Amino acid sequence: MTDWLAVDWGTSHLRVWAMTQSGTVQTRRGNDAGMGTLSRDGFEPALLDLAGDLLGTGKTPVIVCGMAGSRQGWAEAKYVAAPCTPPGIDRATHVPTREPRLSVHILPGVKQTNPADVMRGEETQIAGFLALNPKFDGVICLPGTHTKWVHISAGEIVSFRTFMTGEMFALLSQQSVLRHTASGDGWDATAFADAISTAMSNTSDLAARLFSIRAEGLLNNLHADQARTRLSGLLIGAELAAARPYWLGQHVALIGDDKLCKAYADALGAQGLPVERTDAERMTLEGLKAAYAALRETTQ
């Protein structure tokens, strides 16, 4: 029997886990009904479409994290200001629904004033990581479209910084002139290490080094895999150089896509920094479970 639904609702995807009270996953489902494809009225039907058959006759709590809580989402769950603990159920927005069996709570994101920055979704993964590692003190890096570096101390998000590295890689590799050259889908570990080292040693001429990839394709028949890997390495290397104050001498944990985390782990490893890798989906789910546990406490 489904006691509650855990929901990760991002810009481009919707993921639902049917959960028991004790935290066992009964079913996992997902589709591409992301926030970006929905108007405000579309969220409840989209959720019922994917998971309506999992509801019983009584009221089912639904705990949601991610972009569904943005201003353009289902209902705004206003950012909590860092420094703060990852916001839990007490800061969630309760959303009225037409379907009486739903009781929807959307967890808020976290904002930072100076430098201006925001996260939405990552705070729940951080909550999950801290639920499993309550004494963690160090830095969590969440590689992705908008990679986050987050300084954690005494259970709090102290400060963070977002880099558009992943989105720049996607745009440059798929839509810029580099798409002709960086069209491979393989990975060249040596090219990556070289590019990381180049980018970290001098961060100033990124835009020129990027064009050199195209020129080397034209003049030296640079292999498509090498080109794509170099593009990735130049962008990640520039990020690591800028994020040095975050990771230098720190205990670093990575949360994100496996392949991407491997690339970050390799790059940081080459700097002599051991990192801890985690299961990103598990962190999301642990964060949602922590929120559900707190909800049960307040309603019992």
Contact positions vs a copy of itself (CB under 8 A)? 71, 79, 111-113, 115-118, 146, 161-165, 167-168, 171-172, 175-177, 203-212, 214-216, 218-220, 235, 238-239, 241-243
The backbone torsions φ and ψ at residue 148, rounded to the nearest 5 degrees and listed phi first, read -110, 140
Q: Shortest gap between Cβ of 210 and a copy of itself (angstroms)? A: 5
CB of 222 to a copy of itself, least distance (A): 8
For residue 114, CA distances in Å to 86, 111, 159 come to 18, 10, 9
CA distances from 95 to 58, 64, 104, 153, 268 (A): 17, 10, 5, 32, 42
In the complex, minimum distance from the CB of residue 239 to a copy of itself, in angstroms, rounded to a whole number: 6
What are the angstrom distances between the C-alpha of 96 and each of 14, 43, 101, 175, 230? 19, 12, 11, 41, 49
- Strand order of the β-sheet with 102-106 is 25-31, 14-19, 4-9, 60-65, 102-106, 93-95
Which residue in this structure is represented by tokens 């709090």? 156
Q: Which amino acid makes up residue 290?
A: A
Q: Which amino acid is at 200?
A: M
**Smallest gap from residue 130 Cβ to a copy of itself (A):** 23
CB closer to a copy of itself, 131 vs 206: 206
Q: Is 189 within 8 Å of 196 (Cβ atoms)?
A: no
Nearer to a copy of itself, 54 or 238 (CB): 238
Closer to a copy of itself at the Cβ: 44 or 122? 122
Between 154 and 218, whose beta carbon lies closer to a copy of itself?
218
**Minimum distance from residue 231 beta carbon to a copy of itself (Å):** 11
CB nearer a copy of itself, residue 161 or residue 223: 161
Q: Which is nearer to a copy of itself, 137 or 211 (CB)?
A: 211
Report which of 62, 73, 49, 63 is spatially closest to residue 100, judged by C-alpha positions: 62
Least distance in Å: CB of 214 to a copy of itself?
8
Neighbours of 36 (CB within 10 A): 13
